[in-house]
């Protein structure tokens, strides 16, 4: 019987109206006998000895409760009663079986008597079963109550352990507290007691009390610094005296300058007679006579600009003059050479005929042949970094090409992500907008390429150089795009009109790339360099930090799901430089895909953001991420800093760290998460959110130090 059925069981009611009548038993006699048996069972169960005692007059029992009876009974005695009842029942069954096996009719009364006794024993077993189920239910209830008490004690224990841990943290903070005086380098104790006067050292007190000893040492340090300050003032006065003496001597030396100038003017005829200052220039001009017209225009205009406006521009001519002279032999000699070469070719063709592939290769080499002389320009910067430009002329294509090389004054730190910054193939890309230097600017070259099987000039750019449009203009070449022209003359005025602007752009490109090279070396180590002039653009404490800065190819950038808008807007091309920045704070990770235009810093970098924190968030599903992109892409003019604005990229990255702090600190706390807030608010904001888009305050106000909405 289950515990639920025992709950629903009603109390038993046993009615006894007296002893049965003697004589023949009828239906009423049987009921009376059954009630007597029930009373015997209850009496037997209540008797501790287990012996059924049937009194002559059973008491008038109305009802009893088995649940209350369980508390009064001993389970061990019930178990003994169960064993005895089972043994007695086995004995009665065996006797009944034996009597039936004899088959004597007189044994029927004995069998009935034993059957009645067996029924009594069965009823005893049933009651013991009910009592056992009641005990089991009560035991389960008691176990459940004890378990609840244990859980309550365990919860109290956890609360106490948490309080202990909190107190231990506070104790650790107190023990690790560092005072400002610990940063001051004090003299040793031996020197202190040796040099300090007794009224400051007070040995009687300071030797036994460390606190008083520290105060005395600080007082002595103050006294010493006051003395050093007085000495410093004395040194300054002596320095001023020495400076005055130096000024007097300078004035004396400066008076010699006019005399020296007069001596130099008097020696000018001697210099002209000996050709001492003009020898090298004279040789250059002699060599320039053999230059092709575009290179000659470039040489003349660059030399004139260097002498007039830019003393740091060095122009020179390289190459073999003899080979250049051989290109301009008289026609008769050339005809004789051609006849000799034709005769040799006839003899060789009789022996061996070259294949079609070899003939095409020879024609391609002849088509792409360069002039033996080239013009070099060395652009020097203020920090002694030099940009070497070598200009070549392709005689059959009538175009100019350029190769670039950078020489730094100091050894640059190796940065993996800065590999393409100073690369000759990408250094001069898009110096003017849209000028990639991959295609020939001369429309007539396409017809020449079709004859020899050249698809495009970009396959030979590495060997020949880049045919930028600005290179053609420096050489005075201008190619109309309406129709191809086979002959284009070099124009000096065209070269002169583009010379000054092109030189400034080249020098600016070199300085910007060198500045980026230094910045990338710091970014790869997780340090965002910010100059002192730009410190006011950011708060003093920024928790988010840059953990990764790498260069990525254009294909990887195009596969990112949050960069499609930039590509569709035409702001990302294969000639641009692409980088990936990773900024972290706690469990939040902000990925920034950066497009660096070759015209940096005139054209700002473009950032595309993706925040991985409680899911992936970008500008398509989070308006605040779009606002963070606007802070660096739209309001970039605030981050230019001092001209020429080479720190724009690092200031943009620093602003990203700043706005990420604001984004995370202004996020509402999830009540379902136990414990303190992951990103406590440390930035002061006038309003956490504003408008239907619930935008966050990303604008930093200096010097007040709070954040507000735009």
Q: Which whole number is the average pLDDT over 470-493?
A: 74
Give whole-number Cα distances, 133 to 42, 43, 130, 143, 173, in Å: 18, 21, 5, 15, 60
The set of residues, in sequence order, having a beta carbon less than 8 Å from that of 233 and lying 6+ positions away, is none
Instruction: Please determine, for residue 475, whether its predicted confidence score (pLDDT) is greater than 50.
Output: yes
The set of residues, in sequence order, having a beta carbon less than 8 Å from that of 335 and lying 6+ positions away, is none
Q: What percent of the chain has pLDDT over 90?
A: 37
Q: Which whole number is the average pLDDT over 316-339?
A: 70
- pLDDT tens digit string along 401-427? 999 999 887 777 777 877 788 888 888
Instruction: Please determine, for residue 121, whether its predicted confidence score (pLDDT) is greater than 70.
Output: yes
- Cα radius of gyration (the chain): 53
Average pLDDT, the chain: 82
pLDDT number for residue 345:
54
pLDDT number for residue 286:
83
Instruction: Please determine, for residue 513, whether its predicted confidence score (pLDDT) is greater than 50.
Output: yes
**CA-based nearest residue to 447, from 483, 475, 401, 394:** 483
Residue 580's Cβ-count burial label (10 Å; 0-12, 13-18, 19+) is: middle
pLDDT number for residue 697:
93
More confident residue, 579 or 68: 579
What 3-state class would DSSP assign to 405?
Answer: strand
Instruction: Please determine, for residue 100, whether its predicted confidence score (pLDDT) is greater than 50.
Output: yes
Query: What does the alpha-carbon distance between residue 695 and residue 710 come to, in Å, rounded to a whole number?
Result: 10
Binning pLDDT at 50, 70 and 90, where does residue 108 land? confident
What 3-state class would DSSP assign to 481?
Answer: coil
Query: What does the alpha-carbon distance between residue 95 and residue 335 come to, in Å, rounded to a whole number?
Result: 150
- pLDDT tens digit string along 650-691? 999 999 999 999 999 998 877 777 667 888 888 888 888 898
As beta bridge partners, residue 706 has: 684, 701
Q: Lowest-confidence range among 52-56, 134-138, 320-324, 374-378?
A: 52-56
Give whole-number Cα distances, 637 to 120, 513, 648, 678, in Å: 105, 20, 9, 33
Residue 550's Cβ-count burial label (10 Å; 0-12, 13-18, 19+) is: middle
pLDDT number for residue 261:
77
- pLDDT tens digit string along 577-592? 999 999 999 999 999 9
Query: What does the alpha-carbon distance between residue 593 and residue 562 come to, in Å, rounded to a whole number?
Result: 9
pLDDT number for residue 271:
66
- pLDDT tens digit string along 692-705? 889 999 999 988 88
Structure tokens at 377: 């320009």
DSSP state, residue 292 = -
pLDDT number for residue 354:
54
- pLDDT tens digit string along 240-270? 999 999 999 888 888 888 887 787 777 767 7
Binning pLDDT at 50, 70 and 90, where does residue 32 land? very low
Q: What percent of the chain has pLDDT over 70?
A: 83
Binning pLDDT at 50, 70 and 90, where does residue 39 land? very low
DSSP state, residue 213 = H
DSSP 32-53: HHHHHHHHHHHHHHH-TT----
What 3-state class would DSSP assign to 286?
Answer: helix
pLDDT number for residue 155:
96
pLDDT number for residue 56:
45
DSSP 431-469: SSTT--S-S-S-TTHHHHHHHHT---GGGGHHHH-B--H
pLDDT number for residue 285:
82
pLDDT number for residue 483:
52
Residue 61 near residue 42, CB atoms below 8 Å:
yes
**CA-based nearest residue to 370, from 301, 302, 324, 335:** 324
3-class SS string, 10-21: CCECCCCCCCCC
Instruction: Give residue for tokens 């007539």.
Output: 444
């Amino acid at each position: 019987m289950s515990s639920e059925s025992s709950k629903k069981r009603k109390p038993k009611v046993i009615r006894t109206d007296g002893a049965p009548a003697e004589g023949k038993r009828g239906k009423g006699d049987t009921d009376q006998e059954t009630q007597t048996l029930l009373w015997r069972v209850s009496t037997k169960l209540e008797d501790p000895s287990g012996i059924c005692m049937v009194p002559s007059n059973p008491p008038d029992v109305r009802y009893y409760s088995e649940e209350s009876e369980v508390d009064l009974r001993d389970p061990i005695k019930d178990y003994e009663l169960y064993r005895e009842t089972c043994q007695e029942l086995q004995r009665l069954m065996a006797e009944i079986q034996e009597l039936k096996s004899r088959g004597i009719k007189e044994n029927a009364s004995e069998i009935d008597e034993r059957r009645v006794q067996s029924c009594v024993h069965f009823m005893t077993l049933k009651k013991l079963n009910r009592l056992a189920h009641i005990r089991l239910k009560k035991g389960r209830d008691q176990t459940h109550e004890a378990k609840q008490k244990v859980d309550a004690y365990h919860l109290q224990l956890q609360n106490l352990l948490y309080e202990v841990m909190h107190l231990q943290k506070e104790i650790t903070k107190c023990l690790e507290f560092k005072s400002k005086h610990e940063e001051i380098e004090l003299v040793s104790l031996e020197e202190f007691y040796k040099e300090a006067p007794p009224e400051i050292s007070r040995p009687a007190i300071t030797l036994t009390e460390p606190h008083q000893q520290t105060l005395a040492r600080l007082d002595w340090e103050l006294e010493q610094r006051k003395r050093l300050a007085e000495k410093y003032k004395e040194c300054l006065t002596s320095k001023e005296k020495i400076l005055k003496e130096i000024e007097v001597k300078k004035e004396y030396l400066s008076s010699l300058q006019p005399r020296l100038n007069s001596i130099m003017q008097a020696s000018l005829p001697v210099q002209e007679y000996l050709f001492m200052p003009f020898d090298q220039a004279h040789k250059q001009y002699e060599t320039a006579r053999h230059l092709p017209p575009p290179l000659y225009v470039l040489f003349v205009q660059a030399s004139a600009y260097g002498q007039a406006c830019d003393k740091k521009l060095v122009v020179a001519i390289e190459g073999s003059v003899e080979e250049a002279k051989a290109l301009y032999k008289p026609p008769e000699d050339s005809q004789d050479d051609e006849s000799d070469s034709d005769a040799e070719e006839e003899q060789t063709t009789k022996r061996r005929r070259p294949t079609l592939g070899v003939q095409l290769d020879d024609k391609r080499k002849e088509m792409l042949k360069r002039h033996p002389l080239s013009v070099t320009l060395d652009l020097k910067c203020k920090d002694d970094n030099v940009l070497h430009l070598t200009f070549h002329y392709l005689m059959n294509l009538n175009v100019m090409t350029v190769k670039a090389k950078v020489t730094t004054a100091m050894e640059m730190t190796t940065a993996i992500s800065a590999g393409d910054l100073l690369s000759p193939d990408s250094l001069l890309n898009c110096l003017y907008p849209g000028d990639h230097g991959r295609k020939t600017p001369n429309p007539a070259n396409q017809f020449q390429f079709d004859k020899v099987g050249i698809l495009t000039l970009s396959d030979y750019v590495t060997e020949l150089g880049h045919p930028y449009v600005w290179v053609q203009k420096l050489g005075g070449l201008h190619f109309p795009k309406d129709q191809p022209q086979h002959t284009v003359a070099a124009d000096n005025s065209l070269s002169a009109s583009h010379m000054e602007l092109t030189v400034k752009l080249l020098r600016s490109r070199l300085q910007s790339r060198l500045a980026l090279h230094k910045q990338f070396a710091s970014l790869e180590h997780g340090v965002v360099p910010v100059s002192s002039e730009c410190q006011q653009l950011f708060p003093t404490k920024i928790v988010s930090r840059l953990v990764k800065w790498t260069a990525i190819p254009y294909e990887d950038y195009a596969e990112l799901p949050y960069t499609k808008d930039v590509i569709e807007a035409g702001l990302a091309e294969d000639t641009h430089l692409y980088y990936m920045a990773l900024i972290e704070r706690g469990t939040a990770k902000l990925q920034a895909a950066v497009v660096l235009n070759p015209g940096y810093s005139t054209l700002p970098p473009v950032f595309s953001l993706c925040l991985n924190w409680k899911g992936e968030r970008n500008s398509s599903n989070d308006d605040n991420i779009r606002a963070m992109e606007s802070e660096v892409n739209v309001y970039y003019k605030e981050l230019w800093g001092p001209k020429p604005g080479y720190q724009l990229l690092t200031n943009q990255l620093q602003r990203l760290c700043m706005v990420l702090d604001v984004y995370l600190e202004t996020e509402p706390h999830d009540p379902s998460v136990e414990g303190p807030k992951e990103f406590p608010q440390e930035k002061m904001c006038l309003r956490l959110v504003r408008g239907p888009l619930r935008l966050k305050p990303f604008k930093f106000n200096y010097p007040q130090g709070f954040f507000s909405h735009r």
